[in-house]
Chain A
Amino acid sequence: MAGTSFDLQLLNLCAALLLLLSFAMLAQRRIVTLVNLLAIQGALLFVATLLLAWRTGERHLYLSAGLTLALKVVLLPWLLHRLIRRLQVYWDTEPLLNISGTMLVGLLVVVFAFGLAQPIAALASTATRSAIGIAVAVILLSFVTMITRRKAMSQVVGFLSMENGLFFGAMSATYGMPMIVEFGVALDVLVAVLVLGVFFFQIREQFDSLDLHHLESLKESPAFEKSAPPEPVRSVQEH
């Protein structure tokens, strides 16, 4: 590591912390903490953009950093917290896989992403191109988060985290997207969150819960049933 400048080391540290946060989100059960982690992710992106802006001197990156701060650290987390309070949904305790299994899947995803990113990184010309692998890993991990969750809220957080990963990838590969693209994406995300918020109320009114498995009962076949409790007679369990 000797020889790399201090700001590059800081950028690498931000990238690594970003990865760590995605893993933490994968394993997190409390939804409030999930949103807080998302906010910290946004803050890291803000710091990274600032560093990159200072290093390369490009003005639009300062604007981008400000936008990140306003949207990802302040506005979106506040919106989501408000939603949580109104919907009274605090825990997401039944993921698809147990913690060890999800961690293992996450690890495999990270290996895949890192391997995938190496030829891509060879094509890029920025100083931060080694972090592209981390960006791809964050995107894929957020996808896995969305897949393994049952509550709609966690899935939204996963979606936003995916957008964070995309943003970081763009930054490390090409020093940021064109401003128009960035504005467009930010607007899309904002609108998506607002619309999803409305949807959550509808789901909650219909099923009295934000558990997405209830959506499965919207088909013709009989609704999803819970398993019967164990009988009081001598039982034989097989699995």
Chain B
Amino acid sequence: MPYIDSSLRACLALIALWALIGLAGLLRPMSLGFVGRLLFPLGALCGVALAVVTATNFGTPTEQSVLPVGLPDLPMHVRRDALASFFLFLLGTTSAGISVFAAGYFRRGEGTAPGLMCLQYHLFLASMGFVLLADDAYAFMVAWETMAVSSYFLVTTQHGLPEIRRAGFLYLLIAHVGAIAILLSFGVMQGGSWQFTFDAMRGAHLTPYWAAVAFLLALFGFGAKAGLVPLHVWLPEAHPAAPSPVSALMSGAMLKIAVYGVLRVTFDLLGKPEWWWGLVLLAVGLFSAIYGVAFAAVQTDMKRLLAWSSIENLGIVFAAIGLGIVFHGVGMNSLAALALIAALYHSLNHAFMKSLLFLGTGAVLHSTGERNLGRLGGLIHRMPWVAWLTLVGALAMAGLPPLNGFVSEWLLLQAFLFAHEVPRTFVNMILPVGAALVALSAALAAYVMVKFFGVIFLGQPREPTLTRAHDAGVLERIGLAWLALGCVLLGLLPAYVIDALRTVVAQFSGVSLPRTGAPWWLLVPLAGRQASYSAPVFLIALTSVVLLAVLVVRRFYHHRVRRAAAWDGGSGRMNARMQDTAEGFGQPIRHIFGALFAVRRELPSAFDSAPRYRVVVSDRIWQWLYVPLGTLVQRTADTFAWVQQGRISTYLTYSFTTLVVLLALML
């Protein structure tokens, strides 16, 4: 666009446009056609434009500006550098697909007027974008709070149901606890200058002690938003409660904003990170990954399963960042760059994969009305478009080549391969074991995805009402296809993505991955280490072998097929309830990882006329950490409640005493 000569202004304009689209929803709040057919697709186009603007500007120099909004002496500073551009790109592309899906998804009976939802949704997008551009603590916190509040309203769309209200409350609570920690971290980082712009924080030189305090506070705050264990309890509640496009946006985009926050604080605002910070991140990330995926495997609600899976993937992203910090701290620069590139790549991959899966569950939910995995099944016949597109997402999430999930995992394992060269005594032995834990969580993710896809789409329908399921509409298909295409392209063209990420990482961390001069279809991260991967060649080889097999078999033999009933051991009494339930499929995990779960089983006795078996798997951390904490807060509040006597004379006495004390002090 000729009159916008700066990409910063273009980004700001697009974000403002999002806000305007949101406000436009209030013009005709009850009209589904206006909101769904006009406003949401417009929002999607803004997203695409944002992606295009930022993708073409990864390498351009940083731009800064001061906006004339805000308080009189406290204007808002904005800045667009490579890191912000990358996350804006992520936001733009992911939200484009989700907005198109949402255009066809929202309908009457969601609990909130469509126009209002449009406002909340686009404000959510705009605030996320503004967080990425903010260059001082004030702008950052305003945008962060807007993000939290708008997403709270989106989560509680169906506010008539008490469990959804509870989930929203928990989400808001933990979001604010995190926000306090972030605020405190900013307070530490200003280092005595009492200027809260990021430039001042970059210039402030903190002692290692205070830098560590700032880092840990920021980790706490951003970790609460990202869902790192033990601050993850809101995720499995809020994501299922929200409508599916909102869950997709939260999982796909909002969690990555937390990743952005950690990267910004660690590498940009705090200057040079210490290597042991990386160990903390690595430990927290790996534990979150294993915890998240083990819980995902035992869930019976499809959206809770995906929420726990998000916890796992964010754990892997943070583990990769931690590994990068460790390498950075000991001076192994190219490996640090590789690990950070793997972290960013995995963030991008997860945004696409998880959004695709959440949107798929949305289509299933709308079509069948069921969220419980125990009441689904066999939907591949009734909803082929949704099923096959969701299969792409499931295979990508399982980390299978040649899709995108495999590439980021491959890069991370390549970085771990050289972790034993770190010149610190115990660390160089523990780090390769970390690689095994990453591999374990990836393998468990495959288990979870087989369960997810197999129980929902394959097999026989577990409820007779499922025969009335219908496939998704045109807009929904476009949204799903957009995200699936993203998964495929990110998997087939990793060299291009890594070229872009190389610039980003070099700018914010100062370490760069040297170029290796390999052709576009070959991925060679580290020259001279002889490890390479080529997704296009891989795909061509696999498909040609498969097609060759098909052709040879058809040429030399026949392809006659007869249809018959499924084999039932000769008993003739097989029905749909005999296949695995979701709980049954997760039973090996419940058995093997039993130490992580708090399991409550109700077993029938021999004399029951209507025997029932019931298993409830819940989070131990909730019982050990949150319930005692909640009880403590409640008791403290109760103790201080005596202050609220209810009598006017007591309150007047309070004011009188305060006045007298202040006057006395003045004397």
Interface positions of A (Cβ within 8 A of B):
107, 111-112, 114-115, 118-119, 232-239
Contact = CB atoms under 8 A, between A and B. Distances in A.
A116 to B, nearest CB: 8
Question: Which of B433, B598, B603 has the largest count of A CB atoms less than 10 A from its CB?
Answer: B603
B426 A237 contact: no
Interface in B407-429: 425-426, 429
Given A111-B430, A115-B426, A118-B425, A236 B602 contact: yes
A232 B598 CA distance: 23
Contact of A114 (B429, B601, B604, B605): B429
Nearest to B602: A236
Contact of A238 (B426, B433, B600, B604): B600
Interface string B561-594: 0000000000000000000000000000000001
B605 A238 contact: no
Nearest to B427: A115
A107 B601 CA distance: 33
B601 A237 contact: yes
Contact of A234 (B598, B599, B605): B605
Interface string B462-505: 00000000000000000000000000000000000000000000
A119 B426 CA distance: 12
Interface of B: 425-426, 429-430, 433, 594, 598-608
14 contacts: A107-B433, A111-B430, A111-B433, A115-B426, A232-B607, A234-B603, A235-B602, A237-B599, A237-B600, A237-B601, A237-B603, A238-B598, A238-B599, A238-B601
Contacts of B606: 232
B432 to A, nearest CB: 10
A115 B426 CA distance: 5
A90 B601 CA distance: 36
B603 A235 contact: yes
Contacts of B600: 236-238
A21 to B, nearest CB: 21
A234 B607 CA distance: 9
Contacts, number: 40
Question: Which of A112, A114, A233, A234 has the largest count of B CB atoms less than 10 A from its CB?
Answer: A234
Given A115-B425, A233-B605, A234-B608, A239 B430 contact: no
Contacts of A114: 429
A90 B46 CA distance: 75
State the 3 A-B residue pairs at the shortest beta-carbon distance, nearest first: A115-B426, A234-B605, A115-B425
A106 to B, nearest CB: 13
Contacts of A232: 605-607
Contact of B605 (A112, A235, A239): A235
Contacts of A235: 602-603, 605
Chain B contact residues: helix, strand, loop or mixed: mixed
A239 B602 contact: no
Given A118-B425, A238-B598, A238-B599, 6 more contacts: A112-B426, A114-B429, A232-B606, A232-B607, A234-B603, A236-B603
A13 to B, nearest CB: 21
A93 to B, nearest CB: 19
A201 B607 CA distance: 48
Nearest to B592: A100
A38 B519 CA distance: 58
A60 to B, nearest CB: 34
Contact of A111 (B429, B594, B607): B429
A99 B508 CA distance: 46
A129 to B, nearest CB: 16
Contacts of A238: 598-601
A238 B607 CA distance: 22
A114 B429 CA distance: 9
Nearest to B600: A238
A112 B433 CA distance: 13
A114 B427 CA distance: 11
B595 to A, nearest CB: 8
Nearest to A115: B426
B604 A234 contact: yes
Nearest to B608: A234
A96 to B, nearest CB: 14
Contacts of B608: 234
A102 to B, nearest CB: 14
Contact of B601 (A111, A112, A118, A236): A236
Contacts of B598: 238-239
B605 A111 contact: no
Contact of A239 (B426, B599, B604): B599
Contacts of B425: 115, 118-119
A135 B242 CA distance: 57
A115 B429 contact: yes
A118 to B, nearest CB: 6
Given A238-B599, A239-B599, A111 B426 contact: yes
Contacts of A234: 602-605, 608
A235 B430 CA distance: 43
Contacts of A112: 426
A233 B433 CA distance: 46
Nearest to B430: A111
A41 B430 CA distance: 28
B218 to A, nearest CB: 30
Contacts of B604: 234
A235 B605 CA distance: 7
Contacts of B599: 237-239
Contacts of A111: 426, 429-430, 433
Nearest to A101: B595
